[in-house]
């Protein structure tokens, strides 16, 4: 499966909204409007550098009703594979990028009786668009936004103004932590919870919700895992008869793509299952970083998700 | 498209209907082989050959005006053929946009769509319609958006909400169906509404189809073909009206099979919808009589062989058991037993 048709965009504005977060406005080079989308969607931004192509997902933050341009925000990651550094250091007003059409893996449930939104840090981005959808929906909701400190609270003023009582801020610096037991233990039936933020926060929300009796169908999460970095390793693609070398800050999927082999993909974040790949031979161990394979499938050593997973091995042969 | 509309055609009572030679040659004959079994035969809905039914995203043919009139007749008698649950309004607008933009882009001689922000102006020349409205404001259209636009489009349209890892059919316009009921199915999930289909569940067809559709992407629609047979060119073969058309199945003879037995092919399209993140499923019906079909020798032979070899459970489910032997016998002289060429198009 080839990469999806992309849209050529130009960066028309860049704003440093917090010390670590930059906000980008992307307008269509061909003129007209951007494609309509649903709150919670993300786009893949294709960043071409001299020696590497990055394909990173970023949530669309702009109001879904405003299609003159898309807006995304990017947090500079300390341990980066280069994508966020590229956006922060090499992209400015006038830069041209390619983006894929929006994909939504984090949609609002249309028949929910109430929505509880929980954001950690840069995780606020998908909610910015969803809040616009919620304004029109006439359903109760709450926005809980946890950040390190006030200066890291991107878009706080805008949120306070537009959400009023429906927004609650929590600052780590003031030791304000979200009490998940209280929050999730007190909601009426039919409430859905949505969480986007660091892995630990997501695990705590899911764990607490389940412990409080929530059904999985009412728990939604989106995680911005850039594929984890790790040691370099080699793999052999059995059908293509190609040997590939995966660099420390390159995902297995990216390395396969760089070798000219197309693997089906969608989310590039280990959740959708599209890049599901069979392992033909393995001497060593697979490092599973995905949220798609079952525990049994992971233990079997027969499958892996190259978009986020890696290996520590003497020999790895994939059915590609 | 050069076809002339035939506004006097009817799909009931006197059944005044026929396909021009052009319509016959472009008919979406569904059988690529001499035997038929289910498959998840989904393919990208990319532009097909010029003049074909898949050249454009949504096909308008010589039966367009008559089919729209037929839909209006059905709705006047049975308004519940259109339904939409309250939370499906943004999906309705998504569908209106899809259909209007497709028709205006691909048939500019018939349709025009002018936009100034949310002020849209729609012209449908074949039906003599001119409508100014505000996109997003249901009060500015005479019917709910999905009903409004599907009254001007051939085929049935089902809209599904995607949530809880499943698809739920929660809005639709269904007046040309092959024996299923929107009123009965509305609110069901993917596997629920496919419940009655024999054999497919065991083959895992619906599990795979559902996983595929849950990941359907914007701007990448897909399509497939489905088929059955109908006696007389009747579009409305609904459960609600079974007393009207059911008995026709018992009236097929060797004398009338050529003119009264029709192959009914559904060209189905599936699009991801942008604002609602739902999916719209179009079911476009094409009818061809056996007499018209045998003008294409490859189709005659293959239709004969498919009918003879059809699994009895499938024949039952498709409602053809009663007459398939008679129709096969009518077709037999057109099958010389020689191998048929590959693919579905006329040799």
Q: What is the pLDDT along chain A (320 residues), one digit of tens a residue?
A: 345 689 999 999 999 999 999 999 999 999 999 999 999 999 999 888 777 788 889 999 999 999 999 999 999 988 666 788 889 999 999 999 999 999 999 999 999 999 999 999 999 999 999 999 999 888 999 999 999 999 999 999 999 999 999 999 999 999 999 999 999 999 999 999 999 999 999 999 999 999 999 999 999 999 876 666 788 999 999 999 999 999 887 889 989 999 999 998 877 778 778 899 999 999 999 999 887 888 899 999 999 999 989 999 999 999 99
Which residues in chain A are closer than 8 Å to B87, comparing Cβ atoms? Answer: 110-111
Nearest CA in chain A to B116: A32
d(CA A24, CA B116): 27
Using DSSP's 3-state secondary structure scheme, residue B33 falls into coil
CB A42 within 8 A of CB A126: yes
Q: Kindly provide the residue ranges of all beta strands, DSSP E only, lying in chain A, ordered along the sequence.
A: 6-16, 21-28, 41-48, 53-59, 70-75, 96-100, 103-104, 114-120, 141-147, 167-171, 191-196, 219-222, 233-237, 242-246, 277-287, 303-304, 310-318
The pLDDT, as a whole number, for residue A249 is 77
Q: Enter the tokens of residue B142.
A: 């005479």
Long-range CB pairs of A10-13 (<8 Å, 24+ gap) are A10/A94, A10/A95, A10/A96, A10/A97, A11/A91, A11/A92, A11/A93, A11/A94, A11/A95, A11/A96, A11/A97, A12/A69, A12/A93, A13/A93
- Residue A70: count of CB within 10 angstroms of its CB: 26
The pLDDT, as a whole number, for residue B1 is 45
Say how far residue B86 (Cα) sits from the centre of its chain.
Answer: 25
Backbone angles phi, psi at A236, to 5 degrees: -120, 130
Q: Enter the tokens of residue B150.
A: 């599907």
Backbone angles phi, psi at B193, to 5 degrees: -75, -20
Largest Cα span, chain A:
60
Q: How far is CA A282 from CA A244, A315, A318, B28, in A?
A: 15, 6, 9, 48
Using DSSP's 3-state secondary structure scheme, residue A164 falls into helix
Using DSSP's 3-state secondary structure scheme, residue B27 falls into coil
- Closest CB to A38 among B164, B211, B276: B276
- Return the CATH number of the domain spanning residue range A233-318: 3.10.20.30
In this structure, are strands A219-222 and A191-196 parallel, antiparallel, or unpaired?
parallel
d(CA A63, CA B234): 46
For residue B44, is it left (φ>0), alpha (ψ between -120 and 50) or beta? beta
In this structure, are strands A41-48 and A103-104 parallel, antiparallel, or unpaired?
antiparallel
The DSSP-derived string for B41-54 is --EE----STTSTT
Say how far residue B33 (Cα) sits from the centre of its chain.
Answer: 22
**Interface with chain A: mutation pick from B46, B273, B274, B280, highest number of A CBs within 10 Å:** B274
- Residue A82: count of CB within 10 angstroms of its CB: 18
Asked whether the beta carbons of residue A102 and residue B275 sit closer than 8 angstroms, the reply is no
Asked whether the beta carbons of residue B217 and residue A274 sit closer than 8 angstroms, the reply is no
Residues in chain A: 320
Count contacts between A and B (CB, < 8 Å): 51
Residues in chain B: 347
Interface of B with A (CB under 8 A): 87-88, 94, 97, 161-165, 211, 215, 217-220, 274-277
In this structure, are strands A114-120 and A191-196 parallel, antiparallel, or unpaired?
parallel
For chain A, where do the domains classified as CATH 3.10.20.30 start and end? 233-318
Asked whether the beta carbons of residue B164 and residue A41 sit closer than 8 angstroms, the reply is no
Asked whether the beta carbons of residue B165 and residue A217 sit closer than 8 angstroms, the reply is yes
d(CA B109, CA B297): 35
Domain spans, chain B:
21-85+154-334
d(CA B322, CA B246): 11
Cβ neighbours for B243, distance < 8 A, ≥ 6 positions apart: none
CB B158 within 8 A of CB B85: no
The pLDDT, as a whole number, for residue A1 is 39
- Return the CATH number of the domain spanning residue range A6-104: 2.40.30.10
Asked whether the beta carbons of residue A109 and residue B163 sit closer than 8 angstroms, the reply is yes
- Return the CATH number of the domain spanning residue range A114-222: 3.40.50.80
Which of B241, B345, B330, B234 lies closest to B297 in space, CA to CA?
Answer: B345
ipTM for the predicted complex? 0.89
- Closest CB to A4 among B94, B164, B217: B217
Residue in this structure with the two tokens 């929980």, named with its chain if needed: A118
For residue A82, is it left (φ>0), alpha (ψ between -120 and 50) or beta? left
Scored b (16 or more CB within 10 A) or e, A164-196 reads eebbebbbeeeeeebebeebbeebeeebbbbbb
Which residues in chain A are closer than 8 Å to B211, comparing Cβ atoms? Answer: 273
Asked whether the beta carbons of residue B217 and residue A104 sit closer than 8 angstroms, the reply is no
Which residues in chain B are closer than 8 Å to A36, comparing Cβ atoms? Answer: 94, 97, 274-275
The pLDDT, as a whole number, for residue B290 is 98
**Interface with chain A: mutation pick from B84, B91, B163, B171, highest number of A CBs within 10 Å:** B163
Active site residue B224: yes
Scored b (16 or more CB within 10 A) or e, A297-307 reads bbeeeebbbbb
- The alpha-carbon gap from A103 to the nearest alpha carbon of chain B, in Å, equals 7
Backbone angles phi, psi at A114, to 5 degrees: -160, 150
Asked whether the beta carbons of residue A64 and residue B162 sit closer than 8 angstroms, the reply is no
Show pLDDT as tens, one digit a residue, over chain B (347 residues): 445 899 899 999 999 999 999 999 999 999 988 888 877 678 889 999 999 999 999 999 999 999 999 999 999 999 999 999 999 999 999 999 999 999 999 999 999 999 999 999 999 999 999 999 999 999 999 999 999 999 999 999 999 999 999 999 999 999 999 889 999 999 999 999 999 888 788 777 888 788 889 989 999 999 999 999 999 999 999 999 999 999 999 999 999 999 999 999 999 999 999 999 999 999 999 999 999 999 999 999 999 999 999 999 999 989 999 999 999 999 999 999 999 888 888 87
Residues forming a β-bridge with A95: none
- The alpha-carbon gap from A147 to the nearest alpha carbon of chain B, in Å, equals 29
């Amino acid at each position: 499966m080839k990469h999806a048709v992309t849209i050529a965009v130009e960066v028309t504005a860049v704003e440093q909204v917090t010390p670590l977060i930059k906000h980008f406005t992307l307008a269509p080079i061909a003129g007209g409007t951007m494609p309509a989308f649903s709150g919670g969607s993300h786009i893949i931004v294709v960043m071409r550098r001299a020696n590497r192509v990055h394909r990173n997902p970023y949530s669309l933050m702009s109001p879904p009703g405003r299609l003159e341009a898309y807006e995304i925000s990017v947090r500079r990651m300390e341990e980066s594979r280069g994508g966020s550094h590229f956006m922060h250091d090499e992209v400015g007003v006038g830069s041209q990028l390619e983006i894929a059409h929006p994909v939504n893996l984090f949609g609002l449930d249309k028949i929910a009786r109430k929505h509880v939104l929980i954001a950690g840090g840069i995780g606020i981005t998908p909610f910015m668009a969803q809040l616009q959808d919620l304004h029109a929906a006439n359903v109760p909701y709450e926005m809980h936004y946890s950040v390190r400190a006030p200066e890291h609270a991107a878009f706080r003023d805008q949120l306070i103004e537009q959400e009023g009582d429906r927004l609650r801020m929590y600052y780590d610096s003031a030791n304000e932590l979200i009490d998940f037991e209280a929050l999730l233990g007190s909601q009426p039936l039919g409430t859905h919870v949505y969480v986007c933020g660091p892995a630990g926060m997501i695990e705590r929300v899911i764990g607490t919700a389940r412990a409080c009796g929530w059904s999985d169908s009412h728990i939604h999460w989106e995680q911005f895992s850039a594929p984890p970095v790790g040691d370099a390793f080699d793999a052999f693609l059995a059908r293509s008869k190609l040997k590939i070398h995966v660099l420390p800050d390159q995902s297995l999927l990216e390395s396969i793509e760089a070798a000219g082999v197309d693997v089906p993909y969608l989310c590039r974040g280990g959740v959708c299952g599209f890049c599901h790949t069979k392992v033909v031979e393995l001497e060593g161990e697979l490092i599973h970083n995905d949220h798609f394979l079952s525990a049994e499938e992971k233990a079997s050593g027969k499958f892996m998700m190259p978009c986020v997973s890696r290996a520590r091995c003497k020999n790895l042969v994939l059915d590609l | 498209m050069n076809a002339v509309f035939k506004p006097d055609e009817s799909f009931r009572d006197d059944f005044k209907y026929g396909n021009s030679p052009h319509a016959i040659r472009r008919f979406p004959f569904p059988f690529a082989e001499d035997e038929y079994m289910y498959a998840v035969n989904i393919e990208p809905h990319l532009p097909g050959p010029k003049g074909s039914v898949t050249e454009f995203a949504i096909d308008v043919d010589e039966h367009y005006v008559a089919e729209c009139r037929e839909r209006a007749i059905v709705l006047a008698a049975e308004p519940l053929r259109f339904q939409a649950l309250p939370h499906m309004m943004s999906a309705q607008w998504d569908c209106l946009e899809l259909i209007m933009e497709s028709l205006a882009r691909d048939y500019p001689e018939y349709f025009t769509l002018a936009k100034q922000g949310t002020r849209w102006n729609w012209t449908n020349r074949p039906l003599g319609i001119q409508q100014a409205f505000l996109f997003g404001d249901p009060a500015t259209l005479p019917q709910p958006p999905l009903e409004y636009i599907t009254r001007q489009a051939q085929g049935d349209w089902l809209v599904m909400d995607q949530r809880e890892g499943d698809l739920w059919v929660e809005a639709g316009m269904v007046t040309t169906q092959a024996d299923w009921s929107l009123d009965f199915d509305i609110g069901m999930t993917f596997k629920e509404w496919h419940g009655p289909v024999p054999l497919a569940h065991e083959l895992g067809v619906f599990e795979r189809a559902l996983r595929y559709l849950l990941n359907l992407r914007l701007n990448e629609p897909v399509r497939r073909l489905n088929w059955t047979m109908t006696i007389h060119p009747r579009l409305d073969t609904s459960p609600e009206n079974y007393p009207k058309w059911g008995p026709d199945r018992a009236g097929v003879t060797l004398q009338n099979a050529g003119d009264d037995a029709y192959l009914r092919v559904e060209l189905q399209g599936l699009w991801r919808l942008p604002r609602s993140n739902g999916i719209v499923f179009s079911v476009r019906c094409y009818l061809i009589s056996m007499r018209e079909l045998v003008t294409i020798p490859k189709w005659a032979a293959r239709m004969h062989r498919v009918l003879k070899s059809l699994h009895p459970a499938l024949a039952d489910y498709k409602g053809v058991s009663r007459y398939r032997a008679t129709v096969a016998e009518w077709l037999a002289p057109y099958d010389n037993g020689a191998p048929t060429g590959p693919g579905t198009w006329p040799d």
